[in-house]
């Protein structure tokens, strides 16, 4: 049976080159980076090199990179710590969007229960916010605005440079969840005035449970954030705990590869993505693309196929050896329709009939051809039953 993976937005396989870089730190180079002997120095050197590689990926300084366990921890730290700091400045207003990943969405829900005022901005049919509404929503009480760089379900890319400029003009702090963007989009933090930015290794061919939080140096000099994890004072006192050296080496290696091969990946994958969409539209009636190709991650498709429930589609495709998603992997199996698609104005039926297809570095033309051939047969079978 075929075994085709088209769910790269949920996670990616580790690139063999990344795994090769990690292996020595899972065996002979096992020293604690905080130790002063040669074993520890070897680990410390690996952390320093990875910090430089991550910084290069997003055009930042190595001293602005804090290693984390992934996007969720990074977002929780950035949002909660900044919000709590705002209380000392008599600010209690926060702004985010209705289409954020759960780690951001739930962080703001938590803060709202603690007494903060939270504005959840809507989006249009392409999944993008109204910049005028953002501008009008920021007040003297607004401490932080958080908006994702690219949406995990639809691939919609936000104009982060413009959003950040608006936020900074109004005197508030800005965080962006760049988990889906890093490794796919050229991120230049010399041009984007974001204060905080989160990434996760497993979204661009690195290991799971490791990521990074960018904290702009000027932000750190002005605001000292209380850590979520206290202990030995690792990561400049912001994130205690013995560092996950093998994972961090993998994050650095994946960042280095992405820095040099991003354009090649885009050229190959976008062509396969567009070819798949063309074939599906030609061979299946009532296929609706959720979002706009003009403003979408080049590896992502979110499709509503009316008359075919999304979960049934995903399950039947899996039986035929093709892995896709019904939305965010973190909410897989949820009864309610996607909050992202609902915010974009889709009906309950349209949202329930959606699937997310996301291609990646190891997707081949044969994979796309097979998926395109089996998809219409499964849709027809489900529609006849329904």
Question: Hey, which residues are catalytic here?
Answer: 330
C-alpha gyration radius of the chain:
21
SS3 of residue 272 by DSSP: helix
* CB burial string 189-223: b at 16+ within 10 A, e below: beebbbbbbbbbbbbbbbbbebbbbbbbeebbeeb
Task: Please say whether the beta carbons of 206 and 253 come within 8 A.
Answer: yes
> H helices then E strands: how many in the chain?
12, 12
Q: How far is CA 12 from the centre of its chain?
A: 12
What is the Cα–Cα distance from 82 to 194, expressed in whole angstroms?
A: 13
DSSP 227: P
Both tokens of residue 365?
């033309």
Task: Please say whether the beta carbons of 145 and 172 come within 8 A.
Answer: yes
User: Assign residue 317 a region: left if phi > 0, alpha if psi is -120 to 50, beta otherwise?
Assistant: alpha
What is the Cα–Cα distance from 146 to 97, expressed in whole angstroms?
A: 8
User: Which H or E run includes 248?
Assistant: helix 245-283
Query: Any alpha helices (H) in 58-101, and if so which ranges?
Result: 71-87
SS3 of residue 228 by DSSP: coil
Rounded (5°) CA angle 228-84-114: 100
SS3 of residue 118 by DSSP: strand
Question: What pairs with residue 288 in β-bridges?
Answer: 304
């Amino acid at each position: 049976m075929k075994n085709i993976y088209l769910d790269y937005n949920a996670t990616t396989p580790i690139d063999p080159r990344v795994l090769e870089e990690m292996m020595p730190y899972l065996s002979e180079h096992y020293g604690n980076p905080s130790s002063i002997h040669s074993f520890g120095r070897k680990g410390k050197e690996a952390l320093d090199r990875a910090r430089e590689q991550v910084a290069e990926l997003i055009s930042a300084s190595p001293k602005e990179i804090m290693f984390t366990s992934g996007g969720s921890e990074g977002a929780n730290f950035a949002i909660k710590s900044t919000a709590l700091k705002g209380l000392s400045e008599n600010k209690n207003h926060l702004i985010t969007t209705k289409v954020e990943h759960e780690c951001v969405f739930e962080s703001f829900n938590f803060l709202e229960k603690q007494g903060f005022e939270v504005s959840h901005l809507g989006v249009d049919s392409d999944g993008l916010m109204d910049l005028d509404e953002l501008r009008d929503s920021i007040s003297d009480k607004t401490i932080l605005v958080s908006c994702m760089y690219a949406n995990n379900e639809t691939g919609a890319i936000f104009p982060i440079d413009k959003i950040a400029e608006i936020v900074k003009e109004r005197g508030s702090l800005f965080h962006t969840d760049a988990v889906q963007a890093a490794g796919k989009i050229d991120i230049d933090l010399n041009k984007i005035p974001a204060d905080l930015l989160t990434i996760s290794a497993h979204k661009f061919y690195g290991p799971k449970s490791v990521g990074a939080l960018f904290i702009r140096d000027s932000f750190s000099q002005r605001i000292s954030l209380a850590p979520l994890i206290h202990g030995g004072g690792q990561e400049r006192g912001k994130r205690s705990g013995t560092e996950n050296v093998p994972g961090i080496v993998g994050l650095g290696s994946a960042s280095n590869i992405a820095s040099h091969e991003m354009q090649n990946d885009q050229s190959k994958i976008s062509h396969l993505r567009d070819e798949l969409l063309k074939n599906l539209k030609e061979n299946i009636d009532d296929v609706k693309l959720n979002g706009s190709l003009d403003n979408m991650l080049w590896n992502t498709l979110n499709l509503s196929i009316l008359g075919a429930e999304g979960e049934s589609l995903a399950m039947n495709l899996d039986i035929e050896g093709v892995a896709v998603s019904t939305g965010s992997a973190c909410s897989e199996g949820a009864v309610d329709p996607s909050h992202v698609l609902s915010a974009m104005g889709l009906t309950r039926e349209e949202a329930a009939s959606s699937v997310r297809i996301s291609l990646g570095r190891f997707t081949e033309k044969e994979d796309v051809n097979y998926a395109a051939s089996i998809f219409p047969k499964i849709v027809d079978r489900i529609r006849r039953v329904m």
